[in-house]
Chains A and B, each alone.
Chain A
Amino acid sequence: MVGPVGLVVFGLIAYPLFSALYMSLTDKAIGAAGSFVGLGNFAALLRDSIFLQALRNAALYTIVAVAIKAVAGLGLAVALAALGERAAVLRALLLLPWVVPVSITALAWWWMFDPMFSVINWVLRAIGLQDAGIPWLADSTWARVAVILVNVWRGLPFFATVFLAGLLSIPREFYEAAETDGAGPVQSFVRVTLPLMRPILSLVVLYSTVMTVADFEIIYILTRGGPLNRTHLFATYAFQVGLEGTLIGRGAAIVLWMFPVLVVASYLTLRIVRRGEEYG
């Protein structure tokens, strides 16, 4: 059993990772061997204005999107828990954005943000909120809003569903005890729900951080990193440099700048999982 598993782990995880690490230390272009350049690619990226922009974009995109998903996801989970069985259909519908392939949903959003045919702008105009329409993908601030919005829309169901499962697993007795001690709904939430939900909250936030910082499809389909490179993330810029530009060594180095974030997130996730905190 160990043999096949080891082979799969080596082939699917270790080999690509070390291959990318090695490539990032070379000036390899696609189809050519490349020579060893040490940390030259990483140093060059620190002088690359588009990469530095992508670094800032990734931080903003990840922090804002994950924060919104966490807060809104928790709120949604609490509301669904309060509604109980009455929200069964809603719970099923909620999963739709998460289960439909991202390339399809991103294309649908792209159409909704279209400068001429945007249904969102049409609605805003119809209700008199906006005459000119919002330049969703033409303005760098609005483009950031748009890509974060799509990421939140897609990730929110996952947050809400996992949080809901966590909420439902908290023993009812804890709330009854809190009530007996005179706690109101807000106090119960702060003193009972949040502490008991902390492991699951941390786990989901860390998982989502990893997925969000490595996002590709939403950006690639909606903005290709524009306008003014303000929505480029590591993966989209790596694709541009490594595959379209054929400098695969430099492209690997761009992606590996994500590595520290991923390592820290993975370490913390594993710690939480190992600790195996249980209720009661």
Chain B
Amino acid sequence: MDIERLGAELGKKVVTRRELLKVAGALGGAAVLGGYSFLVRPARGAPAQTVSIMHWSHFVPAYNPELERQVATWAAQRGVAARVDFIAYRDIPARLAAEAEARRGHDIVQLRVFDTALYRRHLVPLDDVAEALERESGPWLSLARYLAFLDNRWYGIPWYYWSFPATINTEHWGRIGMGSANVAALDWSGFLEAAERLHRLGAPVGMAISQTFDANDALYPLLWSFGARTVDERGNVVIDSAETAAAVEYAKRLFRFMPREVLGWDDAANNRFMLAGAGSWTPNAPSIWAVAKLQRLPIAEKIDHVPMPRGPKGRFRSASTLALGIWRFSPNVELAKDLIRFLLRPENYGRQVEASMGYNQPFLRRLREHPYWRGERVLRFYEPSREQLAVPGWPGPAGEAAQLVYTAFVIPVMFAKAVTGEMSTAEVIRWADRELRARYRA
């Protein structure tokens, strides 16, 4: 019995207690049998031609209305309905999992770093879209292929990423006689000397060495720049190396000049550290500057971005990436593909870049030519990146193991154990080796 019929029945006559119990039982049973799949199907009951898209609530608030506007424009042009659901970043894993399990939910979902690999069984191959976009605005960056071109098929369309150069307070650096250009040229050795001087001035440098995603994005580039890797291209664990030992030893020396609180930092802590004017350097995307500028804080004038220091084996920068995928169970696959192509048109993409205040970085070469980053002096080192871009887990295969290592914060914990003296350098590397092997075996 459907709900409308039940309602009609209830409206017709006086309901006895027994009947009420039957109705309650039926509704309760339906709710239980429907389970949470009922809750995660926002499009249910809406017209079949409603295209829904799940997106995180962007760090730069002006981006969300621009995305909504573009989706509404597309929907009006196609004569269909469309909706963007903004979800807190932290809630995305649970939401994706629920939709994949229930095989119901949005048509288009945003896929974070390794989500495309993890959910590829449930995603529509998008070779036609990826190839068309490459013809229009390509080529794709190698990072895009690494994350979304799996088993020779595109399972997601890399949309944008944000990366982690160093955010600096130019006033503090000025007190030790260094301008942005000097800081941009530093290697880790020179950086250590500067960090000591800044520490003595009461304006320390800081990077998260804690169980937070920013810690992954700060510490992997340090590891890579010393020539160390967690795994090789085939997923063999290679952390136990002289290069890792050198990176860990360096972190121990640098930690002496950082606030001890970095061991408990969350993703927003380094933002507060810089916005309060206390810190002089931290690896972060330009959200600190964007917030300061949007809120007209005086500190905005003092903020600049520079590349991460150079190590013996190069200069690296970590990236957080987003791709768009279409669930196999979507009833609107062709419309969803069309919407993705619309969002990646150069003119639309350009407006997204502007709305995000340059935060969003493109995976397609031609889209990188947008003048926004050249116009904002503070973003000149942000896009295009001077460092080699990679994601934590690179160069190993994109998939479950890399995701498990990333979410278990194995590398930040390795560094934390070393800098706090809980274990020697050799011991922490052996510990990390065991943890990595356990996850790459799983």
Contacts and interface: CB of A to CB of B under 8 A. Distances in A.
Interface of A: 1, 3-4, 7-8, 10-12, 15, 29-32, 44, 47-50, 114-117, 135-139, 143, 223-229, 240-241, 243-248, 250
Contacts of A139: 260, 263-264
Name which of A48, A143, A246 has the most chain B CB atoms within 10 A of its CB. A246
Contacts of B211: 223-227, 229
B422 A228 contact: yes
Nearest to B102: A31
A223 B97 CA distance: 23
A226 B269 contact: no
8 contacts: A30-B119, A47-B438, A49-B434, A115-B261, A224-B266, A225-B211, A228-B417, A246-B118
Contacts of B101: 30-31
Nearest to B213: A224
B404 A247 contact: yes
Name which of B118, B121, B212, B263 has the most chain A CB atoms within 10 A of its CB. B263
Contacts of B434: 49
A131 to B, nearest CB: 14
A228 B32 contact: no
B46 interface: no
Contacts of A31: 97, 100-101, 119, 121-122
Given A31-B100, A229-B211, A7 B28 contact: yes
A11 B32 contact: yes
A174 to B, nearest CB: 44
B21 A116 contact: no
Nearest to B269: A115
B259 interface: yes
A28 to B, nearest CB: 10
Interface residues of B, number: 50
A100 to B, nearest CB: 20
A245 B407 contact: yes
B32 A135 contact: no
A152 B121 CA distance: 45
Given A7-B32, A224-B212, A227-B210, A135 B413 contact: no
A29 B416 CA distance: 30
Contact of A240 (B119, B259, B407, B431): B407
Given A115-B259, A226-B212, A245-B408, 16 more contacts: A8-B32, A31-B101, A44-B438, A49-B434, A114-B272, A115-B265, A138-B260, A138-B263, A223-B264, A224-B266, A226-B264, A227-B211, A228-B417, A240-B407, A241-B408, A243-B97
B259 to A, nearest CB: 7
Contacts of B14: none
A176 B435 CA distance: 64
A32 B120 CA distance: 10
A247 B399 CA distance: 12
A49 B435 CA distance: 8
Taking chain B's interface residues, is the majority helix, strand, or loop, or is none over half, making it mixed?
Answer: helix
A2 to B, nearest CB: 10
A138 B93 contact: no
Nearest to A246: B118
Contacts of B300: none
A93 B373 CA distance: 54
A246 B210 contact: no
Contact of A228 (B25, B97, B416): B416
**Closest 4 interchain pairs by CB?**
A11-B32, A226-B211, A115-B261, A138-B264
Nearest to A7: B29
Nearest to A1: B21
Contacts of A228: 413, 416-417, 420, 422
Nearest to B438: A48
B273 interface: yes
A241 B121 CA distance: 19
Contacts of B100: 30-31
B33 A11 contact: yes
B278 A116 contact: yes
A229 B407 contact: no
A47 B437 CA distance: 12
Contacts of A138: 210, 260-265
Interface in B186-217: 210-212
Interface string B409-427: 1000100110010100000
B408 A50 contact: yes
Contacts of B408: 50, 240-241, 245
A242 to B, nearest CB: 8
A248 B276 CA distance: 41
B401 to A, nearest CB: 9
Given A240-B408, A246-B400, A135 B264 contact: yes
A116 B119 contact: no
B178 interface: no
B261 A245 contact: no
Contact of A244 (B32, B33, B119, B407): B407
A115 B264 contact: yes
Given A1-B21, A4-B25, A224-B211, A143 B264 contact: yes
A15 B29 CA distance: 13
B179 to A, nearest CB: 27
B24 interface: yes
Nearest to B263: A138
A229 to B, nearest CB: 6
Contacts of B93: 243-244
Interface in B372-402: 400
A135 B260 contact: yes
A212 to B, nearest CB: 21
Nearest to B209: A227
Contacts of A3: 25
A137 B273 contact: no
A136 B264 contact: yes
A143 B263 CA distance: 11
B63 to A, nearest CB: 24
A148 to B, nearest CB: 16
B94 interface: yes
A208 B24 CA distance: 32
B347 to A, nearest CB: 35
Interface string B200-240: 00000000001110000000000000000000000000000
A137 B33 CA distance: 42
B442 interface: yes
B403 interface: yes
A245 B400 contact: yes
Interface in B32-74: 32-33, 35
